[in-house]
Structure 1
Amino acid sequence: MNDAPRPHGFVKRPEPRSLGSATRGQQMIEGVLPLTGGVVEGDPFRGAGAEDVDAAELHGFGWLDDLAAVGSARARDLAQSRVLGWIAAHRRVPEISHDVVWRADVTGRRVLRWLFHAGQIMPGLDRDGAQPLFDSLHAQLGYLERADIPAGLPRIEALGGRAIAAMRLKGAEDRVAPALDALAADMEPSIRKGVLRSRCPEALLSCLSLLGWVKATAAETGHALPQPVTETIEDIAPILRALRHADGGMPRYHGGGRGPSGRLDHSLRAASRGGEIAPGHPMGFARLARSRATVVLDAAAPPAGPAAAQAHASTLGLEFTSARHPMVVNCGSGRLFGPAWSRASRATACHSTLCLSGLSSAKLLPPDGQGHERLTLLPQRVWAGRCDIEGNLMPADTPPPPPREPDTILAGHDAWLGTHGLTHLRELYLSPDGDELRGDDTLAALDEDAQETLGRVLDAAPNGIGYDIRFQLHPDVEALHDGDAVRLMLPGNEEWYFSHDLTAELRLEPSGYLEAGLPEPLASTQIVLSHRLTAPAVQIGWTFMRAGAS
């Protein structure tokens, strides 16, 4: 370590804040570390496959959560060995480094996991044996104090790790106030102007989790939490409640996943105003909820500017969850599964919505100066809202109807207005008992100018314009043809049926499900309704209905 020995010990012994998968933890004990997009055999920092996995995930030590979920003596021995081995290999903490290992957000994650799981790392170590851990934690705290970090989730990860380390470590008492002040000053640029604009629900969940951990640590160690941090927690919680699926997971949009199991409900406890739900369309998503069912619809254009680095062409894409079982999803983010999956997963065809053949609702541009691929926003307008009894669109902040009435939404976008003269309209109906989700997808040229544009396109394509309506199914859902319908079998012997109005051709196609922590994409199935537009307008109706529902 390039710094002098640091004080030994904690102001107050930290407790685990996050647990992972006991299944993955057991795999580690058996010699295999599963990470997103691959596995590492043996020593994760020198083992087979270590060069092929994401370095940020590996060196962020989030996988200690999985070993903690096992909780056995072998798991504790392995956690201790891996952390001390990493410290021995990284004795010199750089002044500033652009290596992924020393990226500030990765360092913040690593520091947090070492603190959270100190009870796994330290057993059996005497004072001299544990001193390298404290030396490294103090040195990494110093690194976080001088690192330059872009606004957004990475900055919250770095500043959150810095604040918690300063509050926990003996000898860092004079560093607590500057750390908390730095975090408080970042609420506006990183969360309100960064994460919220990214339209990634999981990123917002990560922010709430971090701020909740900071709040709990401040309470345990006797430090006052700055008001901006408290206010931000209270602002985020209603948004996440509004986006929560029936199974407790997050909608998987714009580069995010569903979040660790149970993380959302646990994180929401940090807010004092329990039960409050944000009105309107928070983060640009509309939600239908009835009984045990939830539907989340992407009801806004993809994010623009710096927030567009992980944006997907998912406008009007839906997710549908029945009780504990996600049914209709989108493919997820392929960012950590290689370039081919990264690009493909951002296309409209990897989401549960309508797509013109070979043409997404937003266009992926070449990388910018920082190597980030961007989306150009083809939709000029996106709209969504509940409808009155005559089918008229009501304001986005209109309160939901009473629980005994169906929940409905009408949405649309004009992504293909300029190229084809076409507008996509999607109307959804969720029954009061949550046993029926019905939809109508309309593709139409709505005015004379649009019809003129469409006429020119059809003159050049006498067989019409091909389009598909896709419903990506969760890999736990088994789909079988049943005449003109599809029988859907969910875990726990729950059965649903998908039917349509026979306007389009129905088929089942293979697909893939991408989620952080999976070594490779999971095989899944998609329902596809295919048709060709030859007139100014066409409408296709479809229904998901629970077996036995009337």
Structure 2
Amino acid sequence: MSFGLPGADRDAVRKLARGSLLSRLKRSRQPLKLVAVPRDHVAGDRKRGDALLAGQFPFGSEVRPLADLDFAALGASGALAEQVQGFSWLRDLAAAASRESGARLAEAMVGRWLLAHGSRPDAAWAPHLWGERILFWAAYAPYILSSGDAGYRSALLNTLARGARHLDGQAEKAPQGLPRITAWCGVVAAGLLVQGGVPRIARGEAGLARALTGAQFDDGGLVSRSPFEQMLLVDRLGLLRSCYSAAKQTIPDGIETASAAALAALHGVTLGDGALSSWQSCNPGEAARLAALIDGCGLRARPLRQARGWGYQRMSALGTIVVLDGAPPPPKHFSAFGAASTLAIEMSDGAQRLVVNCGGPGPLPTALSPELVQGLRTTAAHSTLVLDDTNSTSILADGSLGRGVEDVGIERSEGNDASRIEASHDGYVRTFGLAHKRSLMLGNDGKELRGLDQLTAKGRKRIREAAPYAVRFHLAPGIEATATADGMGAILRSRGAPPWNFRCRGGMLTIEESLWIDGRGQARGTTQLVIVGEVSALGGEIGWQFRRTS
């Protein structure tokens, strides 16, 4: 595949270098330049980089030919558009190619972007995309600014400066949450790195502080409660910290504090295999990619165990990890894919996942039907109690979240023998007059997790006779579940961990089919343990236990 720009395209790119800004710079005899080039300390994915060099753009489980990527038609919405237009793929290219061998491809792609979008603002000038673009263009300047073509270099730097000025007025208009944080990161980065940008640093830092305050809980987690977005937050702040270092400027305490807290929250939702637990329609991602990000972000933090805002409670003992969703779903203006997962758990033994949620494709392309993707957001797709096949928080026809869980109570205690959590939610009070309480106890030897699900009468509503319930534990792929003779337990075997025994009381145990969305966004068949029964208006309780046999 030829990576160079055709002659006519090269001429068109050079024309972008003409105009009032470049003319002023020529009169001042000071060519536009970057005053510093930051270093991206996060290692890219070499396999993805090799694919790029071979003319392919890897995207989840799909591959798109680079020659078929039409920057003009991509727009700014959708996961593919964001990955291509944000230029984060430069990191993977750099992992597979030296500057000399990678620059030709990188400059050709940037040239194509300039032809499609460099002349005037359009959808690709969305504030969050410019923020991400500035961070990655600056970090990989050696790959995109090595050309001997002065016209191309001037066009790129001219457009970069215009993009920074565009962000000055548009960053605050980005959607609240990670997009606005990313946009303001771009403003600050441009102030630190682009010639003449110093006056925008203070304003950019103030805007970033506002964006973080509005989107990040005090405990470091994002209000969207999305592990995938949390990973991107750590990445964005890590790249920005590198910009400060390159410019030899002191990183503000607020950015350092937010970065460290974000990393601790991200650690808090990882399991023993080093990948993420599955919440808010996200999947585990790739452990190697997450490890590279954490290793390269420049900070170290302990996993956040007790998160009131972020909501994910973490228990761990000698290799056994349990993560509990202890908060309401995110507000709909922060997340379009929130899930009715309150009080669900995930669990791992060493690198072996045991109990999971079904998850979702997240930002990846998917061949899953829209109906299935919607179904993966339901309470039944999570490892928790479901009453009368009803979501604890309703999912409306347009995909947004409706009424349901508003109040979640959490109590934790640490003893000499075990860690304990008691959590409750009111998601079923309005419809059934019953509150759900889940109690967990993890032994300090990591060999036993005991649970108790209780339904207690609360509020004015009362069910007339009885309502069916199901307590679901979705099992990770590779876990073989064999029912015991009495029908009240199962033996769980896998290649990655010793056998675990499961026992229950208060209902009957069944073993049913399930599915799990892997880190590439693909569905994998698995099974689930389901405790079924009925509950009266007075309530009831269901006990259960996971115990490792060795």
Is 1:377 aligned with 2:378?
no
Q: Which residue of 1 aligns with 2:487?
A: none
> Letter of the aligned partner of 1:60 in structure 2?
G
Q: 2:143 aligns with which of 110, 113, 120?
A: 120
Q: Which residue of 2 aligns with 1:499?
A: 502
* Contact 2:438–2:453 under 8 Å retained in 1: yes
> Letter of the aligned partner of 1:330 in structure 2?
N
> Letter of the aligned partner of 1:533 in structure 2?
E
Is 1:471 aligned with 2:473?
yes
Q: 1:446 aligns with which of 446, 452, 457?
A: 457
1:545 Cα deviation from its structure 2 partner: 3.9
* Contact 2:107–2:144 under 8 Å retained in 1: yes
Deviations 1:454-490 (A, max 9, x none): 3x143xxxxxx4433323344xx31324343253425
Q: 2:392 aligns with which of 361, 367, 370?
A: 361
Q: Which residue of 1 aligns with 2:42?
A: 18
* Contact 2:42–2:295 under 8 Å retained in 1: no
Distance (whole Å) between structure 2 residues aligned to residue 448 and residue 86 of structure 1 = 59
Distance (whole Å) between structure 2 residues aligned to residue 441 and residue 504 of structure 1 = 14
Question: Helix, strand or coil for the counterpart of 2:342?
Answer: coil
* Contact 2:510–2:532 under 8 Å retained in 1: no
> Letter of the aligned partner of 2:371 in structure 1?
A
Is 1:138 aligned with 2:149?
no
Is 1:203 aligned with 2:205?
no
Is 1:431 aligned with 2:443?
yes
Distance (whole Å) between structure 2 residues aligned to residue 21 and residue 466 of structure 1 = 48
Distance 1:166 1:248, change over 3 A: farther
Distance (whole Å) between structure 1 residues aligned to residue 381 and residue 165 of structure 2 = 43
TM-score (normalised: structure 2): 0.80
Q: Which residue of 2 aligns with 1:392?
A: none
* Contact 2:492–2:502 under 8 Å retained in 1: no
Distance 1:332 1:120, change over 3 A: farther
> Letter of the aligned partner of 2:294 in structure 1?
D
Identity %: 26
Distance (whole Å) between structure 2 residues aligned to residue 377 and residue 150 of structure 1 = 23
Distance (whole Å) between structure 1 residues aligned to residue 306 and residue 325 of structure 2 = 16
* Contact 1:25–1:68 under 8 Å retained in 2: yes
Question: Helix, strand or coil for the counterpart of 1:306?
Answer: coil
Distance (whole Å) between structure 1 residues aligned to residue 498 and residue 42 of structure 2 = 34
Q: 2:132 aligns with which of 91, 109, 125?
A: 109
Distance 1:9 1:469, change over 3 A: same
* Contact 1:21–1:69 under 8 Å retained in 2: yes
1:316 Cα deviation from its structure 2 partner: 0.5
> Letter of the aligned partner of 1:377 in structure 2?
R
* Contact 2:39–2:246 under 8 Å retained in 1: no
Distance 1:141 1:430, change over 3 A: same
Deviations 1:178-201 (A, max 9, x none): 333432343323435997433334
Question: What do you get for the CA RMSD once the two structures are aligned?
Answer: 3.5
Q: Which residue of 1 aligns with 2:58?
A: 34
1:248 Cα deviation from its structure 2 partner: 4.4
Distance (whole Å) between structure 2 residues aligned to residue 496 and residue 83 of structure 1 = 53
* Contact 1:25–1:75 under 8 Å retained in 2: no
Distance 1:115 1:199, change over 3 A: same
Q: Which residue of 1 aligns with 2:191?
A: 166
Distance (whole Å) between structure 1 residues aligned to residue 518 and residue 274 of structure 2 = 18
Which structure 2 residues correspond to residues 369-408 of structure 1 after superposition, within 5 A? 373-386=399-412, 398=413, 400-402=414-416, 405-408=417-420
Deviations 1:284-339 (A, max 9, x none): 22221112222111112223363353321010011213333444332334454474
Count of aligned positions: 505
Q: 2:492 aligns with which of 477, 487, 495?
A: 487
Distance (whole Å) between structure 2 residues aligned to residue 57 and residue 141 of structure 1 = 20
Distance (whole Å) between structure 2 residues aligned to residue 267 and residue 358 of structure 1 = 44
Q: 2:291 aligns with which of 242, 259, 262?
A: 262
Q: Which residue of 2 aligns with 1:216?
A: 242
> Letter of the aligned partner of 1:110 in structure 2?
R
Structure 2's unaligned 5+ residue stretches are 1-15, 26-30, 485-489
> Letter of the aligned partner of 1:314 in structure 2?
S
Distance (whole Å) between structure 1 residues aligned to residue 36 and residue 60 of structure 2 = 34
1:15 Cα deviation from its structure 2 partner: 1.9
Distance 1:278 1:315, change over 3 A: closer
TM-score (normalised: structure 1): 0.80
Distance (whole Å) between structure 1 residues aligned to residue 404 and residue 32 of structure 2 = 57
Deviations 1:6-47 (A, max 9, x none): 744432233224334333333333443232475423425239
Distance (whole Å) between structure 2 residues aligned to residue 438 and residue 329 of structure 1 = 16
Which structure 2 residues correspond to residues 13-92 of structure 1 after superposition, within 5 A? 13-36=37-60, 38-43=62-67, 45-46=69-70, 54-71=80-97, 76-92=103-119
Distance 1:319 1:155, change over 3 A: same
Distance 1:225 1:480, change over 3 A: closer
Distance 1:331 1:187, change over 3 A: same
Q: Which residue of 2 aligns with 1:510?
A: 514
> Letter of the aligned partner of 1:158 in structure 2?
A
Is 1:314 aligned with 2:341?
yes
> Letter of the aligned partner of 2:94 in structure 1?
A
* Contact 2:223–2:309 under 8 Å retained in 1: no
* Contact 1:156–1:183 under 8 Å retained in 2: yes
Distance (whole Å) between structure 1 residues aligned to residue 384 and residue 91 of structure 2 = 35
Deviations 1:149-187 (A, max 9, x none): 233211110111222233223343444343334323433
Distance (whole Å) between structure 2 residues aligned to residue 157 and residue 448 of structure 1 = 43
Distance (whole Å) between structure 2 residues aligned to residue 357 and residue 466 of structure 1 = 5
Distance (whole Å) between structure 1 residues aligned to residue 47 and residue 180 of structure 2 = 31
Distance 1:88 1:188, change over 3 A: same
> Letter of the aligned partner of 1:172 in structure 2?
G
Deviations 1:408-463 (A, max 9, x none): 22222232233233333322222223233333334x3436966xx23x143xxxxx
Question: Helix, strand or coil for the counterpart of 2:237?
Answer: helix
